[in-house]
Structure 1
Amino acid sequence: MKRLFFRVFVVALMGVLAAVAGLVWFALSPVGLRQSPLDFTIEPGSGMRQVARQLTEAGIDTWPPALVFLARVTRQANGIKAGSYEVEAGVTPLALLNMLTRGDVSQAELALIEGWNFRQFRAALDRHPDLRHDSAGLSDGELLARIGADASHPEGQFFPDTYLFSRRSSDLEVLRRAHRQQQKILQREWDKRAEGLPYPTPYEALIMASIVEKETGQAADRPMVASVFVNRLRSGMLLQTDPTVIYGLGPAFDGNLRKRDLQTDTPYNTYTRPGLPPTPISMPGVAALRAALNPPSTDYLYFVARGDGSSAFSRTLTEHNRAVARYIRKQAP
């Protein structure tokens, strides 16, 4: 009887050892890939069986039951993170599970450029191949509601930066992050603002920063440009800034700003209406916000582009007219 028990024990032990050896062999043997590198996505809320199925459907040649068992044995079954991943030839099931539990997602990126308007921003989102386009068909108002923004107009509400995200992420999530970042930075810069500014709210400062962003060819000129507009607001002068007029023309603008455009009244025409326009006209960056909220003390009231990206600043209309003659009309000083 003892001898029979011993034989059964030995057979069982050999079976266990064989199973362990088989599992180790499976865990450390490279899987087959339909192509290398291979991109695949694990959907949110997927259990381990669903994960195994998604892997095989994506072109990873592995045995799903063995992968599920390996995940349970290594206590990784409940730690799989959703997202987009990339694997190359030679990856093993164990390395694959380690990647999925660490969340080593493959990332894409989208650059939102300082000075872009919201129409350009949405176009960049719409044409990005690695985003899920959940905002398609939404109006601007519906889009703002979906990301939890309490703004009534989208312009200026998103911070220009390079955003990294997992492939197949929602474009609404990128929008949400850009909006949160803009609110955070705007409040931070507002809290450090100079005293006596002619705009009493952070939103009006955002409008001013968006104008400074569009009027500046060189970064070093931003503070001086801001000082000109602040001086004009304080003295009751019209801002008379072309970018606001262009923004008011919208898609109808053909690249050529005409005299009749400057004379046609719109809410954004700062040649016909005093004060700031009703909304920002672009996405301002940090430098433009800082310039708008801490402009230097100057007595400049005018500036004109020199043609090399920089601006010439003037205190009087006579000085300004001379600068226009020199830099725009190319007349000798």
Structure 2
Amino acid sequence: MGKKNRTKVILIVILAFLIVFAGGFGFLYKTYLNGLKPVSEVSEQTAFVVEEGSTMDDIINKLYDEGFIQNVKIAKIYVKLNKINEYYAGNFLLDKNMSVEQIFDTLSDVSKASRDEVMVTIPDGSWAKHAAAYIAEKTNLSAEEILQKWNEVDYIYQLIDKYEFLTEDVFNSEHCFLEGYIFPETYSFFADTTVEQVTEKILDYQNEIYLKYKDEILASGYTVHEVYTLASIILFEVSNEEDMYLVSSVFHNRLNDGWKLQSSVTVCYALYTYESWEDCERDVTIKSDYNTYQVDGLPVGPVSNTNEMALKATLNPAESNYYFFVNDISTGKAYFAETYEEHQKNVYKYLY
């Protein structure tokens, strides 16, 4: 091969290499630009929380997990290239049609970080509708939109995928799918928030409680839903810890021997609106899958949102031969009996 031909071949190889390199670079650059585009062309505003102490990697991963960006690696490259190292903790309003640039412009703007927090207390034994009202009093949310979300099937399925203690049994509820799982506690929420943020903060705490008792629940012979259901009845019946263990023994004895539970608080929940405890004692014939005067075994779901004390009592009933109890309305003290005759004496002595 002549010198001219060799030179020509070399030039052709170099040119081919440059073409391939340019093509590859162009492809990578196009991929990078596409990765910076919004995930959606449609506006969908959603709150995004940057927790205190979050790193940039934490924020980027969370943005991806919550569907705000397309690609974690591209977002990290963008942050490094643009030397973005200033961001703020708080509650931000982002939109799914924001580009990566717009998202980080927002997160870097302290004026767009809502830091106002409110304390919301959900008392022991609250119903879901009451919990929603307590949250609505202190936040930008309405009780109606909270309850609507708590009964949204698609959203509940998302929660079932996320939280082990939730199962499809929750769909048996007549009033609220999350009844029984709104853990009573004092929570700190952003004043401007979303139903999802509030709900998942509550359920995150519920998950901590569940994990403490997971092994006991699995060994109990009952499903998670059944354990929470029985705990909700016990808490509705009595608030004294010592009485809880004895009430638990009453219900376990009845369940083990095939007796109906005959708990008037399940009638209260079946009624859902009532004036006094006497309504629940009178209306024991109401047709409802919650009415344990009519159904065998446990009702279809929790009748209140239970606390840890009642959960412990459910899993560790006292040893007794009691099958009956009655509460002194004036003191709240429970009195127990082994026979119906003894129980009737207690009823006349402490109830009337």
Secondary structure of 1:172's counterpart equals helix
Secondary structure, aligned partner of 1:108: strand
Deviations 1:80-108 (A, max 9, x none): 33349xxxxxxxxxxxxxxx69x994421
In structure 1, distance between residues paired with 2:313 and 2:236: 13
The structure-2 alpha-carbon separation of the partners of 1:311 and 1:176, relative to structure 1 and needing over 3 Å to count, comes to same
Summarize deviations over 1:25-84 as a string: whole Å, max 9, x none.
xxxxxxxxxxxxxxxxxx8699xxxxxxxxxxxxxxxxxxxxxxxxxxxx9972233349
Bigger CA drift: 214-223 or 269-278? Answer: 214-223
Q: Compute the displacement of 1:326 (Å).
A: 1.0
Question: For residues 284 and 143 of structure 2, what CA distance do their matches in structure 1 show?
Answer: 38
Structure 2 vs 1, CA of residues 263 and 230 (structure 1 numbering), >3 Å: closer, same or farther?
A: same
How many residue pairs end up in the alignment? 242
The reply on whether 1:165 has 2:189 as its aligned counterpart is: yes
Q: Would the alpha carbon gap of residues 170 and 45 (structure 1) be closer, same or farther in structure 2, given more than 3 Å must change?
A: closer
**Structure 2 residue aligned with 1:269:** 291
SS in 1 for 2:205: helix
Q: Which residue, out of 111, 114, 123, partners 1:113?
A: 123
Unaligned runs of 5+ in 2: 1-46, 51-82, 93-109, 161-169, 172-176
Question: Residue 88 of structure 2: which of 46, 64, 80 is its match?
Answer: 80
Distance 1:130 1:108, change over 3 A: farther
Q: Which amino acid aligns with 2:208?
A: K
> For the residues of structure 2 that align with 1:246 and 1:173, how far apart are their CA atoms?
31
Which stretch shows the higher mean deviation, 212-221 or 286-295?
212-221
Query: Is residue 2:336 matched to residue 1:313?
Result: yes
Residues 260 and 213 of structure 1: CA distance in aligned 2, closer, same or farther (over 3 Å): closer
Name the CA shift for 1:190/1:136 in 2 (closer, same or farther; >3 Å): closer
Report the alpha carbon displacement of residue 325 of structure 1 after superposing the two structures with TM: 1.6
Instruction: Kindly report which structure 2 residues correspond to 1:207-246, keeping only aligned pairs within 5 A, or say none.
Output: 207-246=229-268
Q: SS where residue 189 of structure 2 aligns?
A: strand
Q: Quote the Cα distance in structure 2 between the aligned partners of 1:137 and 1:317.
A: 41
Whether the 8 Å contact between 2:270 and 2:286 is mirrored in structure 1 is no
Q: Hey, what does 2:207 align to over in structure 1?
A: 183
- Alpha-carbon shift at residue 125 of structure 1 (Å): 2.1
> Relative to 1, partners in 2 of residues 1:145 and 1:82: Cα closer, same or farther, differing over 3 Å?
same
Q: Secondary structure at the match of 2:119?
A: strand
Which structure 2 residues correspond to residues 128-147 of structure 1 after superposition, within 5 A? 128-129=138-139, 135=145, 138=148, 140-142=150-152, 145=155
1:235-266 superposed Cα distances (whole Å, 9 cap, x missing partner): 11110101101101123x23341665112232
Q: List alignment gaps of at least 5 residues for structure 1.
A: 1-42, 47-74, 85-99
Change (3 A) 1:257 1:193: same
One-letter amino acid of the structure 2 residue matched with residue 166 of structure 1: F
- Equivalent AA in structure 1 for residue 241 of structure 2: A
Where does residue 38 of structure 1 map in the other structure?
Answer: none
Deviation of 1:147 after TM superposition, in Å, equals 8.7
Distance in structure 1 (CA, Å) of the matches to 2:223 and 2:49: 43
Are the aligned partners of 2:150 and 2:156 in contact in 1 as well (CA < 8 Å)? no
Residue of structure 2 in register with 1:257 after alignment: 279
Residues in 1 aligned to 2:315 and 2:49: alpha-carbon distance in whole angstroms: 45
Instruction: Report how far residue 218 of structure 1 moved.
Output: 2.1
Letter in 2 for 1:266: S
CA distance in structure 1 between the partners assigned to 2:231 and 2:280 by the alignment = 25
Matched, 1:326 2:349: yes
Does structure 1 retain, via aligned residues, the 8 Å contact 2:132–2:146? no
Cα gap change, 1:146 to 1:78, in 2 (>3 Å): farther
CA deviation map 1:254-280 (0-9, x unaligned): 334166511223211111111000010
Q: Percent identity?
A: 26
The 2-side partners of 1:297 and 1:187 are apart by 25
1:201 correspondence with 2:223: yes
Once the two structures are TM-superposed, the CA of residue 225 in structure 1 deviates from its matched residue by 0.9
Relative distance call for 1:220 and 1:104 in structure 2 (3 A) is farther
Q: Aligned AA for 2:335?
A: A
Secondary structure in structure 1 of the residue aligned to 2:279: coil
Q: Residue 118 of structure 2: SS of its match in structure 1?
A: strand
Give the 3 Å change call, closer, same or farther, for CA 111–322 of structure 1 in structure 2. Answer: same
Secondary structure of the equivalent of 1:175?
helix
Match of 2:303 in 1: 281
- For the Cα contact (< 8 Å) 2:261–2:292, is it kept in 1? yes
Q: 1:293 aligns with which of 308, 311, 315?
A: 315
Distance 2:159 2:323 in 1: 36
Mapped partners of 2:269, 2:301: distance in 1: 10
1:84-95 correspondence to structure 2 within 5 Å: none
